[in-house]
Amino acid sequence: MDILRHNREAWDRQVQTGNPWTIPVSSEQIAEARMGKWSLVLTPTKPVPSDWFPADLGNRRILCLASGGGQQGPILAAAGAQVTVFDNSPAQLAQDRLVAERDGLAIETIQGDMADLSIFPDSTFDLIFHPVSNVFAAKLQPVWDEAFRVLNAGGALLAGFVNPVLYIFDTEAMDNDRRLEVRYKIPYSDLEQLSPEMLQGYLDKGSPLEFGHSLEDQIGGQIKAGFVITGFYEDIDRDTVLAEVIPTFIATRAVKMK
* Strand ranges (E), the chain: 61-65, 82-87, 107-111, 125-130, 151-162, 188-189, 211-212, 228-235, 249-255
* Under 8 Å between Cβ of 45 and 37: no
47 φ/ψ angles, rounded to the nearest 5 degrees: -65, 145
| Chain mean pLDDT for the chain | 96
Greater pLDDT, 38 or 198: 38
Greater pLDDT, 188 or 178: 188
What is the average per-residue pLDDT within 221-234?
Answer: 98
User: For the chain, which residues make up each domain, given as ranges?
Assistant: 3-164+212-255
Per-residue model confidence (pLDDT) at position 247: 95
Is residue 64's pLDDT more than 90?
Answer: yes
199 φ/ψ angles, rounded to the nearest 5 degrees: -60, -45
**Residue 50: band (very low, low, confident or very high) from pLDDT cuts 50, 70, 90:** very high
- The hierarchical CATH code for the domain 3-164+212-255 is 3.40.50.150
pLDDT digits (tens, 9 = 90+) for 163-181: 999 999 998 888 888 899 9
Q: CA 246, 142, 162: angle at the middle one, nearest 5?
A: 10
**pTM given for the model:** 0.96
Per-residue model confidence (pLDDT) at position 258: 83
Is residue 78's pLDDT more than 90?
Answer: yes
pLDDT digits (tens, 9 = 90+) for 87-99: 999 999 999 999 9
Is residue 240's pLDDT more than 90?
Answer: no
Per-residue model confidence (pLDDT) at position 215: 97
> What region, left, alpha or beta, does residue 80 occupy, with left being phi > 0 and alpha being psi -120 to 50 degrees?
left
What is the average per-residue pLDDT within 78-95?
Answer: 98
**Residue 142: band (very low, low, confident or very high) from pLDDT cuts 50, 70, 90:** very high
